[in-house]
Amino acid sequence: MLIKKYSILFSLIILMQGCLVFQSVSYEVNLDDEKSGTVTMSVSNIRSDAVNTTELEEDKKQLFQELLKSDDFVRQMSEEGKFILDRKLFISEGKLNGTIKYSFDDVSKVESIVYQEPFYFITIPLEDSIVSTNGEIIVSDNHKRIMWDNSIRTLKFEMFSADVESGSLVELTKFLEEE
């Protein structure tokens, strides 16, 4: 499958079961205090790697019914300490994108971000590509780490997932328009 297994792509990837791929994922973490706040997670250029009609129908069901509308997804996320406030799919510049906004009471529930005064940080495997961040990237022999000083109240980072422009991936914009 084309999706890299980022530790950062939590339940969204599990529900996508590797058949939906996307170009990048970005996070904007707005802190209310040291431990709580809200997150807006954005996924860009969502496509399917289905090779037949059955797989494509399953991908559409997962995306348009389960992730977008299902109470089970909201319940699962709540059990993980992520309280869904909003979720949507939309077309921008001809590409299918999605956002999920959620609140949290423990910043460590947000992709394992760690707070050790005076810093917030997230540890990422070396093979994962950081597109952008408003933090500082530190690379070691074993991993990458994004660090933010605790004076920063909005932590931002974007990760590359897959090159969706090449290959035979199915564009899903027309199916959103049918919903």
65-117: per-residue pLDDT in tens?
999 999 999 999 999 999 999 999 999 999 999 999 999 999 999 999 999 99
Residue from 122, 99, 118, 97 nearest 110 by CA: 122
Beta bridge partners of 21: 47
pLDDT at position 179 = 62
Residue 126, pLDDT above cutoff 70: yes
The model's pTM: 0.85
Residue 147, pLDDT above cutoff 50: yes
pLDDT at position 47 = 93
CA distance to 27, 132, 134, 141, per residue, from 125 (Å): 17, 16, 19, 10
pLDDT tens track for 10-56: 344 434 444 889 999 999 999 999 999 999 999 999 999 888 888 89
CA distance 171 to 179: 15
Residue 162, pLDDT above cutoff 90: no
Does residue 131 sit in helix, strand or coil? Answer: strand
Residue 7, pLDDT above cutoff 60: no
Better-predicted residue by pLDDT, 55 or 158: 158
Residue from 54, 49, 51, 56 nearest 169 by CA: 49
CA distance 92 to 76: 28
Cα-trace Rg, the chain: 17
- pLDDT average, residue stretch 118-126: 96
pLDDT at position 119 = 97
Q: How many CA atoms lie within 13 A of 92 on its CB side?
A: 11
